[in-house]
Amino acid sequence: MLTRKQYELLVFIDRHLKRTGFSPSFEEMKEALQLKSKSGIHRLISALEERGFLSRRHHRARALEVVRLPEDAAPRIQEAVGSARVAEPQNFAPNVIRGDFTSRLPGVRAANEAGAVQLPLYGRIAAGLPIEALRDAGTQIEVPMALLGSGEHYALEVAGDSMIEAGILDGDTVVIRRGENAENGQIVVALVDENEVTLKRLRRRGNSIALEPANARHETRIFPADAVKVQGRLVALLRRY
């Protein structure tokens, strides 16, 4: 048995999907049900998921799917349709993207209200190129907000097998929080001698820095501290199968 609000939200999502082909944003759902915050929408969606009426395709934006409607849906839908609380906003424009992700994450383009952002995807980590040389302003990758924290982020495609024992495989995409500081043991993007970029585990040893691979077939490399510049640290890993 669904509560009235759960039912109204389910009907609104179902009608929006049939009309537009994609699920409504959290802001649209909040306005349609006349709720004060999006947290109420989160709770309603979670309840509908638990009861088997909705499913969510994770790591995809605006990807709600109505699995089923209640058996008494027909008469109740007519009642809900007549309610102002589930009427579509008169100025609804499906191409408008709402949100303030850009103010929270500098350098990140806003994606949508469903919990994902677009990060710049740099090229494959390759010897002889500093990070900025890998930048391709036209390439973006969608990343769930839950994987990110504060600060500026970017993504890199991994080349090689030097970090496989840390679960990082050739062709994976790593999400990096930009910064110049890192603690011992953290996996970082390091610029060596101003011309080589590598993804390794950082170890400080006196006036030296060791860049450790996570593969027994690769050797740890040790450099003077001033020869290594940290350009960010690993915060997430993405992989397609």
* Residues annotated as part of the active site: 162, 200
Q: What is the 3-state secondary structure (H, E, C) of the chain?
A: CCCHHHHHHHHHHHHHHHHHCCCCCHHHHHHHCCCCCHHHHHHHHHHHHHCCCEEECCCCCCCEEECCCCCCHHHHHHHHHCCHHHCCCCCCCCCCCCCCHHHHCCCCEECCCCCEEEEEEEEECCCCCCHHHHCCCCCEEEEEHHHCCCCCEEEEECCCCCCHHHCCCCCCEEEEECCCCCCCCCEEEEEECCCEEEEEEEEEECCEEEEECCCCCCCCEEEEHHHEEEEEEEEEEECCC
